[in-house]
Structure 1
């Protein structure tokens, strides 16, 4: 069902239950303390109303009254500008650019391996090793500040934290060497915002 004119006065987010990019968008909304309608979508089976809004039927898809946005980066940056408090990007252009480049690297390197692991088969174990290597190579970025590349929580953390949350579920053990990454995750996981961002399926990944 397409959201009614009345319901469109609030935000609507079309999301799957356990996708990292969808979790990323939900974490931004939780960090902002914004109320929204969550519409769960079965992967690969976009409902007709979503296809009416987004020709790709992809998630996350955000509807804000007459505006429809898709692509996780676009959705998250819009939310940060639409709801400026607390800000989730630094003020200076150099720091913002660094965080954006880091997000691109994570999407291309880390999330590609996550998809391969989830697909299973012979490729899963090599992908686990590659993902572990990518994360350990990023240790200096985790050590540089309290959050990822930034003294305050940013949009980059909204992408990194869902990956770190899933590591045990994906069968990726960082070992003693990865303790700074584990510690980073624990700082975020115990926040009320992170708890609000999760679906029941995501919560079950660590039960």
Structure 2
């Protein structure tokens, strides 16, 4: 089984953490360089990471990869609440990534424009709900939803997109999981 992606992607990192203990190979590619783009294009027509190759199966998108891995190998209990939390995490993560890429392209995302305003609103709305959920213990179990939340927070901090001062329960959750060996070994700063 091979997981392709970037060591700095929060969507890839969540799967690297989830795959801990399962036999797999992580193939780190830079999708912005010619060799990485070539690998990406040869496997995933959506031109997105992560992507998983398991024998003859090729699976795109972190959520679908998780579902496949959970059904085929891990078999963790998964609830509608976990699904809803993952939807919120993905929404915030998508908005952060879009804003980050725009800023890297030299576009000021703080300007008053519909697209930017919608992304900022989505981030605030989802983080408000996730902060409340964290205060109620929704992420006390280390499962794919909590792994994904951790990777979202860590990536936003890594990219200086948020301090999480306004979200104390999310920041406490983050701090409580920093010492996990798999979290340390997948740190995008290394």
**TM over 0.5: same fold?**
yes
Equivalent pair of 2:2/2:54 in contact (CA under 8 Å): yes
Report the CA distance between 1:151 and its aligned residue: 4.1
Of the structure 1 ranges 14-23 and 164-173, higher mean CA displacement relative to structure 2 is found in 164-173
Equivalent pair of 2:88/2:130 in contact (CA under 8 Å): no
Report the CA distance between 1:47 and its aligned residue: 4.6
Report the CA distance between 1:118 and its aligned residue: 4.1
Aligned residue pairs total 178
Change (3 A) 1:189 1:104: same
Which of these residues, 49, 70, 86, is aligned with residue 103 of structure 1? 86
Separation of aligned partners in 2, 1:19 and 1:66: 25
CA RMSD in angstroms comes to 2.6
Equivalent pair of 1:15/1:41 in contact (CA under 8 Å): yes
SS across alignment from 1:157: helix
TM-score (norm 1): 0.73
Separation of aligned partners in 2, 1:117 and 1:71: 19
Match of 2:182 in 1: 193
Matches for 1:75-114 after TM superposition, within 5 Å = 75-84=65-74, 87=76, 89-90=77-78, 96-114=79-97
- 1:37-70 deviations in Å (ceiling 9; x for gaps): 2212222454545433333342111111221111
Which of these residues, 141, 148, 152, is aligned with residue 159 of structure 1? 148
Q: Which runs of 5+ in 2 are unaligned?
A: none
Report the CA distance between 1:190 and its aligned residue: 1.0
Extract structure 1 runs of 4+ deviating beyond 6 A: 125-128
Separation of aligned partners in 2, 1:160 and 1:150: 8
Match of 1:142 in 2: 134
